[in-house]
Amino acid sequence: MYRDLREVYWWNGMKKGIAEFVAKCPNCQQVKVEHQRPGGLAQRIELPEWKWEMINMDFVTGLPRSRRQHDSIWVIVDRMTKSTHFLPVKTILSAEDYAKLYIQEIVRLHGVPVSIISDRGAQFTTQFCKIFSERLGFEGELKHCLSSSD
């Protein structure tokens, strides 16, 4: 907190005053590292051998609506080249809608990925990968379809 405030403010005894305030602040005490659940184990992410073989998906949400009612951006990144596609989407789209859009916009240009990592949550990621695999006529699902948010 001190580092952030010193960029904009300064007063005599500033560091001590901030330390005393934080020590008495209930919210500050709750967000201290020792009061947080430990994160999960880091998982090793394989390095891709080919372009667009392994991708990451992310969403930029909370944007003002466009004329076509898009309020989010779906960001799809190739892990090898860091090439990126930005697709305007609506927050209300289902996993099925996203799978259809992915096939229309990404698969037609780059082919089918081997691995997808998404931060949208395990339920969305599982649904997306299941529907995506079905639409492409795969017997099973993708080799790797992970959610980074769990």
For the domain that residue 99 is a member of, what is the CATH number?
Answer: 3.30.420.10
Structural domain boundaries, residue 16: 1-31
Q: Which of 44, 25, 28 is nearest to 36 (CA)?
A: 28
Each residue's pLDDT tens digit, 2-19:
787 888 888 899 899 888
Q: Does residue 141 form part of some domain?
A: yes
Whether residue 2 is found in the same domain as residue 70:
no
Q: Does residue 92 form part of some domain?
A: yes
pTM, to two decimals: 0.65
Whether residue 8 is found in the same domain as residue 81:
no
The predicted structure's pLDDT at residue 90: 94
Measure CA of the first residue to CA of the last residue in the chain; give whole Å. 28
Handedness of CA 118, 121, 126, 129 (dihedral sign): negative
Q: Does residue 40 form part of some domain?
A: no
Domain count within the chain? 2
Whether residue 26 is found in the same domain as residue 61:
no
Contact 55, 79 (CB under 8 A): yes
Whether residue 92 is found in the same domain as residue 133:
yes
Whether residue 65 is found in the same domain as residue 133:
yes
Whether residue 66 is found in the same domain as residue 24:
no
Q: Does residue 133 form part of some domain?
A: yes
C-alpha torsion 85→90→96→100, nearest 10: -40
Whether residue 22 is found in the same domain as residue 84:
no
Whether residue 26 is found in the same domain as residue 58:
no
Q: Does residue 44 form part of some domain?
A: no
Q: Does residue 49 form part of some domain?
A: no
Each residue's pLDDT tens digit, 63-113:
999 999 999 999 999 999 999 999 999 989 998 999 999 999 999 999 989
